[in-house]
Structure 1
């Protein structure tokens, strides 16, 4: 009887432990499921066209899928990635590939792009000339003094036949000193990118990045020329790498790839350059 009691007690303990283990496993499985699925998605975007893109194009299409969508606006290029890394938001939209990769490496963040979106391009603006052909010799032009926007400007000017960049230089890192031919003898004035819109009135030409052009209420289609930017310079939806395959993240990608999203782009965001995947 004593041996039988001990055996029964041991069996009970084993069953209790097994049940507890089963509950723990079930809780773990539920935890995984909850991280993969959501009923609310929180975006972060900088104030301006990309916040508008979330509100006018991405949000309504996700809401049709049953999500509740909140968009938090930021006024700088630092906090959207900090908020994403901290888990305060689920995804952000404001940055290109070169920026987010450098920021993530510098700040030890594990971020990944979900999909590239249409992006406002660099434009060549003038109140003096109505076309590229009208540009006169010795015209003045203001350009951005930061390396990325400066190189983009020079590539655009080369594409328009106004200059030639040395073949020995990567066009994406070119500077004024790398100009081999200046067919109109343009006079370059380098200034801070955010100040470029106001120089359209005082200079013959101004090369203005798309976000600053829109912030100054420019119509992109009024530009004498718009850049054909590489996809590396187009903005993208970025998420934490651990979430890249989550069902809600894939739903974001799906709505951006939809014909309905492209229709909104064509109607509400005229002049935005489309990424390569959208042109196929």
Structure 2
């Protein structure tokens, strides 16, 4: 009987210790105060450092920023757990990458994003563009669609109203008012193309990497929200306190003030307007 009683007491002790340990683990998980946010080097790493990190640190977080130089590792690092969130990609890329790599990733919130623009060293205005001018455009379908939409906004072409704005191509151009010649090239080469062709449709990230001023463009993109960059986390972390605090930081007046002062030309998402 004594042995049974001792055994019962030991079992009870282990149960209490296990429960306490579980409660501590849950508390630690809910009180995560050290986070690592990944971003591509350049404007989005700067955005994390200047506009998000200080706000989180005021809330008691210790924030590390990890910079990446490609568009694959930030999502892999997030899925593997070496970073807690990232900022570098738009909705279309996120959904495609997650599906292709079987990852459970979700967006927290969209942020101001550098828009694509039409640049020229030959013409100083849209009105000055001559008939038959050549424009370099991205050779990938997603960015090419954006280029055609900018040209339509600029009044240089007309696009079939039935065309999907996310997949517009030269086949959807119903009227080419200036008889523009389209020259598809790699997106990363578009900043250099400004020197060799009449016009170049340059995505914002490549323009900034080449030290181009967004406000020097002849026309900036009225960007669809699907193309704005997002803060992304693992889906399992969507409802965690740190994720909610990151979202609140981006929604704050302090964040918008930094954007207005240091990220001129960046297009704000619909929720900020």
Q: TM-score, normalised by structure 2?
A: 0.97
Match runs of 1:112-127 below 5 Å: 112-127=106-121
The match for 2:246 among 224, 248, 252 is 252
- The alpha-carbon deviation at position 41 of structure 1 amounts to 1.0
Equivalent position of 2:145 in the other structure: 151
Give, in whole Å, the separation in 2 of the partners of 1:74 and 1:136.
41
The match for 2:90 among 92, 96, 100 is 96
What is the RMSD of the two structures over their aligned residues, measured on CA atoms?
A: 1.2
Partner of 1:156, secondary structure, is helix
Using the TM superposition, name which of 143-152 and 14-23 deviates more. 14-23
Cα deviation code 1:30-87 (max 9, x no counterpart):
2122222222110111111111111111111111111111111111111111111111
Equivalent position of 1:241 in the other structure: 235
Using the TM superposition, name which of 15-24 and 225-234 deviates more. 15-24
Using the TM superposition, name which of 125-134 and 251-260 deviates more. 125-134
Using the TM superposition, name which of 35-44 and 70-79 deviates more. 35-44
- The alpha-carbon deviation at position 29 of structure 1 amounts to 2.0
Give, in whole Å, the separation in 1 of the partners of 2:31 and 2:145.
42
Partner of 1:172, secondary structure, is coil
The match for 2:200 among 168, 188, 206 is 206
Equivalent position of 2:53 in the other structure: 59
Match runs of 1:258-273 below 5 Å: 258-273=252-267
Gaps of 5+ in 2: none
Give, in whole Å, the separation in 1 of the partners of 2:97 and 2:182.
30
State which structure, 1 or 2, has the greater radius of gyration over its C-alpha atoms.
1
Using the TM superposition, name which of 178-187 and 14-23 deviates more. 14-23
Give, in whole Å, the separation in 2 of the partners of 1:71 and 1:229.
27
The match for 2:39 among 35, 45, 51 is 45
Using the TM superposition, name which of 166-175 and 208-217 deviates more. 166-175
Match runs of 1:126-205 below 5 Å: 126-205=120-199
Equivalent position of 1:26 in the other structure: 20
Contact 1:165-1:171 within 8 A present in 2 as well: no
- The alpha-carbon deviation at position 9 of structure 1 amounts to 4.2
Using the TM superposition, name which of 200-209 and 211-220 deviates more. 200-209
The match for 1:216 among 193, 205, 210 is 210
Q: State the aligned residue count.
A: 273
Q: Runs of at least 4 residues of structure 1 off by over 2 A?
A: 8-16
Equivalent position of 2:4 in the other structure: 10
